[in-house]
């Protein structure tokens, strides 16, 4: 079995847990490869040298025969992993070394049991929809114009709101006078979109949600649309440019650039333990029912 390890950094408090992961893999004679910048961080900042000699730095040199792609970190690290995995079909396994973790949902105290369950096949593979962004030259985010969570347009370098003219399959929907607009996938519905009042969608829902950011008109609310439809955005305002973001990546875009958002032609595979369900994750991460009156 082959496993790829990916991460950015973690605190010294997590080092023992990381060593435990390596010990478990060594015990089961699993061939490991590791993201080179992550390896360099562990060696230089934590004083520990993992016994791993196979490295990758981007999608092109990732071993496509890897059985699992383990991410060590939080949801931000998980999103960065998507750029490396892309359409390879390798299931991503999220180990949480941080705080919340909707996607990186394996906690430190679950690591030994989780690895045993994975090796025994006690898990499910979920396929998560991505969205794709296209512009006239299709070079907005270099060679990976996809997002697992959301695409966002936002005002930049000004206190003034921007106007986002929005169309669904060519039909005019609305001109949002706001700080920005979020187009979120079901996976991203528990992220930025949720923080501005967007609805929570079940992961396998075939929809996108359009959520305005601080709209001037209080009757404007998030709207759920089928992900088979193409969403077109045209932005204007007092500034000559605005900010466009795909998950954790942001670029400056010229005003009046036409943006087309559609469903990607591939999906990301996410490994979920049988003990972790979407509803239990919602309860635990959002602390539903913590109030003793419930």
Name the segment(s) of the chain with CATH classification 2.60.200.30: 130-266
Taking the C-alpha atoms of residue 217 and residue 96, their distance in angstroms, rounded to an integer, is 39
Domain with CATH 3.40.50.10330 in the chain: 2-122+274-285
Collect contacts of 254-260 with beta carbons under 8 A, ≥24 apart: 257/135, 257/136, 258/135, 258/136, 258/232, 258/233, 258/234, 259/133, 259/134, 259/135, 259/140, 259/151, 259/153, 259/232, 259/233, 259/234, 259/235, 260/133, 260/134, 260/135, 260/230, 260/231, 260/232
Determine the CATH number of domain 130-266: 2.60.200.30
CA–CA separation, 162 and 243 (whole Å): 11
Distance CA 149, CA 79 (A): 8
Catalytic annotation, residues: 75
Q: Which CATH architecture does the domain made up of 2-122+274-285 adopt?
A: 3-Layer(aba) Sandwich (3.40)
Burial track 226-245 (b if 16+ CB lie within 10 A, e otherwise): ebebbbbbbbebebebbbbb
Which two three-digit tokens encode residue 33?
């490869």
Q: Given a cut of 80, is residue 55 above it in pLDDT?
A: yes
Q: Report yes or no: 127 and 269 within 8 Å, Cβ to Cβ.
A: yes
Percent of the chain's residues with pLDDT above 70 = 97
pLDDT tens-digit readout, 62-95: 999 999 999 999 999 999 999 999 999 999 999 9
The whole-model pTM stands at 0.92
Model confidence pLDDT, tens digit, residues 232-278: 999 998 888 899 999 989 999 888 789 999 999 999 999 999 988 89
Distance CA 234, CA 229 (A): 17
């Amino acid at each position: 079995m082959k496993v790829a390890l990916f991460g950015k950094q973690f605190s010294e408090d997590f080092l023992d847990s990381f060593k435990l992961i390596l010990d478990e893999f060594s015990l089961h004679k699993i061939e490991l490869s590791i993201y080179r910048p992550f390896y360099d961080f562990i060696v230089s900042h934590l004083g520990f040298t993992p016994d791993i000699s196979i490295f990758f730095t981007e999608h092109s040199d990732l071993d496509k025969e890897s059985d699992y792609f383990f991410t060590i970190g939080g949801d931000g690290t998980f999103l960065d992993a998507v750029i490396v995995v892309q359409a390879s079909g390798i299931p991503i396994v999220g180990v949480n070394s941080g705080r919340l973790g909707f996607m990186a949902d394996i906690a430190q105290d679950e690591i030994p049991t989780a690895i045993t369950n994975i090796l025994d096949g006690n898990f499910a593979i979920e396929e998560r929809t991505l969205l794709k962004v296209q512009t006239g030259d299709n070079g907005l985010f270099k060679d990976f114009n996809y997002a697992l969570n959301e695409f966002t347009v936002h005002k930049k370098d000004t206190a003034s709101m921007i106007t986002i003219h929005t169309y669904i399959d060519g039909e005019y929907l609305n001109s949002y006078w706001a700080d920005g607009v979020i187009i979120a996938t079901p996976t991203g519905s528990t992220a930025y979109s949720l923080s501005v009042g967007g609805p929570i969608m079940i992961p396998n829902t075939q929809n996108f949600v359009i959520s305005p950011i601080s709209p001037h008109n209080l009757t404007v609310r998030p709207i759920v649309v089928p992900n088979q439809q193409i969403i077109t955005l045209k932005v204007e305002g007092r500034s000559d440019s605005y900010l466009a973001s795909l998950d954790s990546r942001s670029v400056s875009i010229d005003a009046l650039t036409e943006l087309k958002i559609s469903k990607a032609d591939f999906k990301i595979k996410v490994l979920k333990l049988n003990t972790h369900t979407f509803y239990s994750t919602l309860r635990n991460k959002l602390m539903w029912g913590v109030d003793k009156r419930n």
